[in-house]
Structure 1
């Protein structure tokens, strides 16, 4: 926190603070999409960021213009750079480049499966995709998503299995498993070497009946 405070005092705050004002309409949507990408409730994000739940709710509804310090706390809790949170105008460049540090990551409970969120944040409510890396024996346990949602796991390295409702299927390099994810499911790395795959989640809103 000392670093961000120091930078504010050195002259950047006026530009960034005015940017927060201008982008407030998009800022709330960005915070909400990131929060949902991590499956965090308002209370959980409040606990992790130190920002009051009521303030976060107001930000998401665009009912307040948060200070830069508040945006910084939220960006730290959501594992993205503050510049990325603020860069949400409707005139974004056609080509965007993200560094490894700018890519949010999730980790399984056993610490052996890592998901880099490589999908576009604006689609997170209906389409999510991840770069999955897993150590041997790593397991990713997931709760049920919205009813009607579908998940695809395309394996590039190693061997993975997917279990849904007691049914288990496995896939190796070049193979894809597609399955309903609106019920508890798990992904396991079966190979003796680290595995890698691309996971795409199509939420109910995007699934054609």
Structure 2
């Protein structure tokens, strides 16, 4: 879909979400009803100012009108996704989902091999980490008192204090949720 088509679909979607008429959205945005109708039909070419005014009228950020909606279902296959490696351990974090507006959590797939443990410095105050060990065997948790986990085990611990993740078996992996309170 081209940008004008995306904008048209977004305006229709957001207007339907609010339950507002064409007349009311046009009035709130300070534009002609015919202009809004053209935009919804994909025949207009809105300026940045018009889109900002529509965003305000519809109660959404500018980006919601120009960025295509994301699918509700999202799949990241094993071995895919943005991966970041540790400098000090055989540890890889793959971001599965970032924190959407209004929420304060990120989801990662962790891959780690035996050897040097991953020692993490404290994160932002109020951070809590949750992990479910998927494969292998590991020590996870507060740096001074990690817990031994096996596949299927869950742990929650303060992420705003030093913490560790150490693989005790090859091909150890976990799903981790960082909750930012």
CA distance in 1, matches of 2:146, 2:153: 15
Shift of 1:122: 2.7
1:188 maps to which residue?
Answer: 166
Structure showing the higher helix proportion among its residues: 1
Tell me how far 1:165 sits from its aligned partner.
Answer: 5.0
User: Does the C-alpha gap of structure 1 residues 199 and 124 become closer, same or farther in structure 2, counting only changes over 3 Å?
Assistant: farther
What TM-score does the superposition give when structure 2 sets the normalisation length? 0.56
Whether the 8 Å CA contact 1:118–1:129 is kept in 2: the answer is yes
Q: Residue 107 of structure 2 aligns with which residue?
A: 129
SS at match of 1:122: coil
Unmatched segments (≥5 aa) in structure 2: 8-65
- Residue 99 of structure 1, CA deviation: 6.2
CA contact 2:99–2:105 (8 Å) conserved in 1: no
Structure with the largest fraction of strand: 2
1:133-192 CA deviation, whole Å, 9 max, x = no partner?
11122422212112221101111111111242512211111111110111121111012x
Equivalent in the alignment of 1:148: 126
Q: How many residues align?
A: 120
Give matches, 1:6-17, under 5 Å. Answer: none
Structure 1: 5+ residue stretches without partners: 1-14, 23-87, 205-209
Report the TM-score, using the length of structure 1 for normalisation. Answer: 0.49
Aligned residues of 2:119 and 2:143 also touching (Cα < 8 A): no
Query: 1 CA distance for matches of 2:80 and 2:101?
Result: 17
Greater Cα radius of gyration, structure 1 or 2: 2
Matched, 1:139 2:117: yes
Alignment of structure 1 residues 1-209 onto 2, 5 Å: 89=67, 91-98=69-76, 103-120=81-98, 122=100, 126-191=104-169, 193-204=170-181
**Is 2:91–2:111's contact at 8 Å kept on the other side of the alignment?**
yes
CA displacement 1:37-85 (0-9 Å, x = unmatched): xxxxxxxxxxxxxxxxxxxxxxxxxxxxxxxxxxxxxxxxxxxxxxxxx
- Aligned-CA RMSD value: 2.9
Report the CA distance shift for 1:169/1:98 in structure 2 as closer, same or farther (over 3 A): closer
